[in-house]
Structure 1
Amino acid sequence: MNQSVPHDVLDLIAREDRHFAQAPEAFFQAWKRGVQIAGHEWFGDGTCEGLQRATEKWDLRPNLLRLNDALGVLSGGQRMFLAAMVSFYNSREGGAMLRRCQFEGLSDFGGLDLERRKVLADLLLNYSGW
């Protein structure tokens, strides 16, 4: 009995393999866009030069101490976007930040502009762990 895998299933597997092979670089590019939007001062060494020199996500780790200190004075959208980004880096810290922002669920991202939504969507689609 021939139990070969259907061609469309093999194509789907191949597409997913290609996607996940390219995901780390796509994640980094989306992360870098997010850093540019949110402000380089919250990431890496906190400088514009550090953002420009960054070659991997580790170069742009969020500065959790600085972010937690400033969370109360940022605008609602800024807080939500930064907290969502932090949640990719550290789910516990990011989750706590999102709760401080009164994040109830994904529909709360509806208040973010299209540019920020696209960054978060690209981060989610390409996340393969920090």
Structure 2
Amino acid sequence: MNKILPPKVVDLLVREEQHFACASNAFFQAWKRGAEIAGAQWFGDGTREGLNRAVDIWELRPGMHELNDALGVMSSGQRMFLAAMVSFYNAREGTAMLRHCGFEGLADLGCLDLQRRQVISDLMLNYTGW
């Protein structure tokens, strides 16, 4: 039995399909903005040039060893922001980093400034897997 979907449902499905068709690129753009804010040294080859020439997320993977070593000397906001970003790349490592930062839930991201909140928001909206 075929039933016609209500127009509102069809519109919602079309918008969702359009969103996810562009999500991968939108995620990369948000990731790159986050890497620029946090510092090129934590991503990819660790250089500004590498950040500028990167064309996909694989070229901007977080430097996990360097980040874990440096967590203790970062400001609480920088730790929280980088740990939240890392959680998109590697949930287990990101969770451990967030716990180390004292993260207890999403409301803790309220310590971030608007620019960093926007990056995390855009990453969440457009994440389709690493």
* Unaligned runs of at least 5 residues, structure 2: none
1:102 aligns with: 102
Please list every run of 5 or more consecutive structure 1 residues that lacks an aligned counterpart in the other structure.
Answer: none
| Corresponding residue for residue 49 of structure 1 | 49
- Correspondence for 1:66: 66
Q: How many residues align?
A: 130
State the SS of the aligned residue for 1:15.
helix
SS at match of 2:19: helix
**What pairs up with 1:5-20 in 2 under 5 angstroms?**
5-20=5-20
Aligned identity (percent) is 68
TM-score, length of structure 1 as denominator length: 0.98
Separation in structure 2 between the aligned mates of residue 9 and residue 64 of structure 1, nearest angstrom: 42
Looking at structure 2, the residues matched to 57 and 2 of structure 1 have their Cα atoms a distance apart, in angstroms, of: 42
AA matched with 1:69: D
Paired with 1:93 and 1:22, the residues of 2 have a C-alpha distance of 27
CA distance in 2 between partners of 1:103 and 1:12 (Å): 34
Per the TM alignment, residue 7 of structure 1 is displaced from its structure 2 partner at its CA by: 1.1
For normalisation by structure 2, the TM-score amounts to 0.98
Distance 1:128 1:2, change over 3 A: closer
> Which residue in the other structure is 1:22 paired with?
22
Q: Does 1:37 align with 2:37?
A: yes
| Equivalent runs, 1:113-124 vs 2, <5 Å | 113-124=113-124
Instruction: State the Cα distance separating 1:3 from its structure 2 match.
Output: 2.1
Residue 8 of structure 1: CA displacement? 1.2
Q: Over residues 80-101 of structure 1, what are the superposed CA-to-partner deviations in whole Å (9 max), with x where a residue is unaligned? A: 0000000000000000000000
1:3 is aligned to 3
Amino acid at match of 1:17: E
- Point out 4+ residue stretches in structure 1 off by more than 4 angstroms: none
